[in-house]
Amino acid sequence: MSRHRKHQPSPLYRLRHETPMKLIDLYRRKSFVFSIEVFPAKTAEGMETLKQTLGTFAKFRPDYFSVTYGAGGGTRENTHALATHLQNKLGIETMAHLTCVSHTGQEIEVVLRQLEKSGIENVMALRGDPPQGSTEFRRPENAYNYACELVAAIQKRGGFGIGAAGYPEGHIENPDQDADRHFLVGKINAGVDFIATQFFLDNSFFLRWRDQLAADGVSVPLVPGLLVPTSLKQLTRMADFCGISIPNKLRIQLETHHTDPEAMKQIGLEHTSRQLENLLREGIPGIHLYALNKLATVQHLAPLLPYSSKNLLAPCAA
């Protein structure tokens, strides 16, 4: 009989969220929302270590976690397992990433049902990256072609809050920023509740993009994504892959100290701290922190956030 028993959320989860919560409710209710994006480990041992680390993350009271999906859905099972742990063991609202690349509509429905059974009711709807080894995106037969189609299908189905990605510097495959904003508006019209951006290192890109969207009549929360650069090699690889500009001053600082990992980490933390302080003055609705599963990133930036006293209560149970 227990085999068919519906999963029951932990007492901590029930205490914090007496009723189901869509993330848009957080953005409507709070003046500032702090979210952390993490990715699942590839091995069982790695997952156990990661869960312990994220238990420490939880002490900084993020409003929600988001869990990535991997290229072509390559981490699907681990994404579900980690999201379930965060939602039901740590008691923190969790958004699971869902990509339509390489998935049919029927497969998407299977994933959504699994998430529902685990009490997860928020998804980040993405087209996603091609499977590893692929050089370009090809639409699988009977699959969605664009994120806006996935958004529309989830919205029509019901039951989930929906986030989507925004690209202040334009998408790597569509550097025409005017056209890219047009596609973003299409996703919003299809049913997106809020937008979390790809990381950027120069705030002027985000602020200009935000103001242009406001002029276009967009009113959903536009949440800046921040990432702490701690390695020039890693940052260059990620920036090239995502089409992100690296400010000259930051590049020179990292190049100067490229043989000193601690110095590079401190340079990155200071750069992101300055970004955050400037964005806070601009009245952002929150930040979406690409923590790369690194505790030091959260430890450094969390004290800078405009927390209320409720955010600083006793740590969550790990």
> Is 37 a known active-site residue?
yes
pTM, rounded to two decimals: 0.87
Query: Token pair for residue 42?
Result: 């590839």
Q: What is the pLDDT of residue 137?
A: 55
Tens digit of each residue's pLDDT, the chain (318 residues): 444 444 444 444 444 444 558 999 999 999 999 999 999 998 999 999 999 999 999 999 999 999 998 644 456 788 999 999 999 999 999 999 999 877 888 889 999 999 999 999 999 999 876 666 555 556 667 778 889 999 999 999 999 999 999 999 998 887 778 888 999 999 999 999 999 999 999 999 999 999 999 999 999 999 999 999 999 999 999 999 999 999 999 999 999 999 999 999 999 999 999 999 999 999 999 999 999 999 999 999 999 998 643 444 333 333
Alpha-carbon distance 30 to 215, whole Å? Answer: 24
Q: What is the pLDDT of residue 162?
A: 98
Query: Is CATH 3.20.20.220 correct for 2-312?
Result: yes
Residue 264 burial (CB count, 10 A): 23
Distances in Å between the Cα of 172 and the Cα atoms of 21, 128, 129, 176 are 33, 13, 12, 9
* Residue from 37, 93, 149, 169 carrying the catalytic annotation: 37
Alpha-carbon distance 245 to 239, whole Å? Answer: 7
Inter-residue contact 163 to 95 (CB < 8 Å) = yes
